[in-house]
Amino acid sequence: MKLIVGLGNPDEKYKKTRHNIGFRILNELVTIGQYNKLEFKEDKKFFGQYTKKQEFILLKPMTYMNRSGQSVLAIKQYYNIESENILVVHDDMDLGFGQIKMQKEKSAAGHNGVDSIINSLGSNNFWRLRIGINNDLKEKIPGDKFVIYNFSSEEEKKFPQIIDYSLDLIIEFIEKKHDKLTNKNFKIPV
């Protein structure tokens, strides 16, 4: 069983913010091909919304970013999922807009949601799909404020390319054995 976690914040006001890129990508996944029959449902025991197929679970923690680990740990323990079979999809201020990295066993690097997951699991032995959100505006705004800004209209026009690449990587994660995956680094021409 594999677990794909999209990070974000549950309130409507955060829906299109940079910090909610994980939610947005999982929402797109359930609209395509073999995944389009999946529907997220709220489950209080998992502190989030999830949907399940035989071989994987998609999870959107509803705990707010800083407590994402609570949701991930609850579903991991319930379904007895190995940490290396977890993929966390999240925004990353250290990467430029359009840059995507698939990595395993990395530090949180200041991301509070990832830090919460590492602390809850007691390990960083899981995969991360880091989606770059950095742009020139970041230099003028503190990081904690920058992540809750919406994408610009120009960035939104380019967002479908980022979603497509991200979905390809998630599907690869679902379909491959974790020991066949490798770290990947993409710069999408946006």
Q: Catalytic site residues?
A: 19
Q: Tell me which residue of 75, 64, 85 sits closest to 175, measured CA to CA.
A: 85
Cα separation of 115 and 160, whole Å? 28
Q: Quote the radius of gyration of the chain (alpha carbons, Å).
A: 15
User: For residues 40, 169, 189 and 150, what is the CA-based torsion angle, rounded to 10 degrees?
Assistant: 30
Q: Are 35 and 107 in contact (CB under 8 A)?
A: no
Q: What tokens were used for 135?
A: 């742009």
DSSP 21-62: HHHHHHHHHTTSGGGTT---EEEGGGTEEEEE-SSEEEEEE-
